[in-house]
Structures are given as C-alpha cells and as structure tokens.
C-alpha cells in the first residue's frame, strides 16, 4: 500500500472476520478456521511478493518516480 492510498473501508473481509464472535465455534471448527486463515495469509503474501517483484522490475526499467 502506498502512503497516499486511503485506508480500506471498515467493511472489508478482514474487518468483518475480526469482528465476528468466535464463542459459537468448537475447537475443531476453530482449528479449521486457523488453517484456512493461514492458507489465505500465504496466498496474500505470495501475491504481495510477486507485486513487489513486478514493481521492482518496472522501477529498474523506467526508474522510480518521486
């Protein structure tokens, strides 16, 4: 995220997940949820690294803009 980017709206998926009551979930359901979230974190991290590599390649080719 660039410093000039505005913050995401509070209704984004991560905000909704963070606000959800976890009390109704069983231990097994919580474990499954953790596994799903870890897989999503890995997917987002991979995308972030690819985007950074793409940006670095563009900066190397065209130069970084101020």
The fraction of the chain above a pLDDT of 90, given in percent, is: 64
Residue 3: is its pLDDT beyond 70? no
C-alpha to C-alpha distance for 55 and 51, rounded to whole angstroms: 6
pTM for the model stands at 0.70
In a domain, 15, yes or no: no
In a domain, 6, yes or no: no
**What domain count does the chain have?**
1
In a domain, 16, yes or no: no
Residue 46: is its pLDDT beyond 90? yes
C-alpha to C-alpha distance for 64 and 66, rounded to whole angstroms: 6
How high is the mean pLDDT of the chain? 88
Q: Which residue range forms the structural domain that includes residue 51? A: 25-62
Q: Residues 10-33: pLDDT tens digits?
A: 678 888 899 999 999 999 999 999
User: DSSP states of 1-62 as a string?
Assistant: --TTSPPPPTTSHHHHHHHS--TT--HHHHHHHHHHHHHHHHHHHHHHHHHHHHHHHHHHHH
In a domain, 49, yes or no: yes
pLDDT (0 to 100) of residue 8: 65
């Amino acid at each position: 995220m660039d410093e000039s980017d505005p913050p995401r709206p509070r209704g984004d998926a991560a905000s909704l997940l963070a606000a959800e009551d976890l009390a109704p979930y069983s231990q097994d359901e919580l474990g499954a949820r953790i596994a799903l979230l870890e897989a999503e974190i890995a997917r987002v991290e991979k995308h972030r690294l690819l985007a950074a590599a793409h940006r670095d390649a563009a900066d190397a080719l065209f130069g970084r803009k101020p």
